[in-house]
Amino acid sequence: MDKRIELIKGDITTLAVDAIVNAANTRLLGGGGVDGAIHAAAGPDLLQECRNLNGCETGKAKITRGYQLKAKHIIHAVGPIWYGGHRDETEMLASCYKSSLEIARDNKIKTLAFPGISTGVYGFPKDLAAFIAVNETKRFLQKNKYPEKVTFVAFSDEHFETYSKLLD
């Protein structure tokens, strides 16, 4: 496994890293799954800052402060809804990871943690999403100093196994 990439099973909202990535929706105003958990853990000031960002398009990302989280920042990445793979979903998910990594680089974020973007209610196939996440991250880290370390955070045993196979 690449020394700059790590995999853990757990709750992304509890990590003490420079930034966590939120699997956000285009409005950036909270939602279900990891998005709802991050908004709940960060507190009401996050929603206020997000209101001022005027949303975010699919495949892109925006950064906010971390508020009550241990993470200093939150990078809100908007992944695609899965429609069967015929609407550029794979390209949009790749763009989502690349955009998040570029924001981390530009803000000199040393430690970054990703959830499985689009794999919850958005229905993106978990193995394909993990493959895209790992490939985009490896490609980016080869050419960039920041982030120094990327952690993939699996919420379930199944998700953990999927990432483990890709990272070995």
Report pLDDT for 162. Answer: 95
Residue 109 banded pLDDT, cuts 50, 70, 90: very high
Count CA atoms closer than 13 A to 34's CA, side-chain side: 31
Domains and CATH numbers, the chain: 5-167 (3.40.220.10)
Report pLDDT for 168. Answer: 86
Catalytic residue among 35, 45, 106, 127: 35
Across the beta sheet with 61-65, the strand order is 5-9, 149-154, 111-114, 19-24, 73-78, 61-65
pLDDT over 60 at 3, yes or no: yes
Mean pLDDT of the chain: 96
pLDDT over 80 at 127, yes or no: yes
Residue 1 banded pLDDT, cuts 50, 70, 90: low
Q: Which conformational region is residue 59 in: left (phi greater than 0), alpha (psi within -120 to 50 degrees), or beta? A: left
Catalytic annotation present for 35 = yes
Report pLDDT for 113. Answer: 98
At 50-84, the pLDDT tens digits run: 999 999 999 999 999 999 999 999 999 999 999 99
In degrees and rounded to multiples of 5, residue 161 shows phi and psi of -60, -45
pLDDT over 90 at 110, yes or no: yes
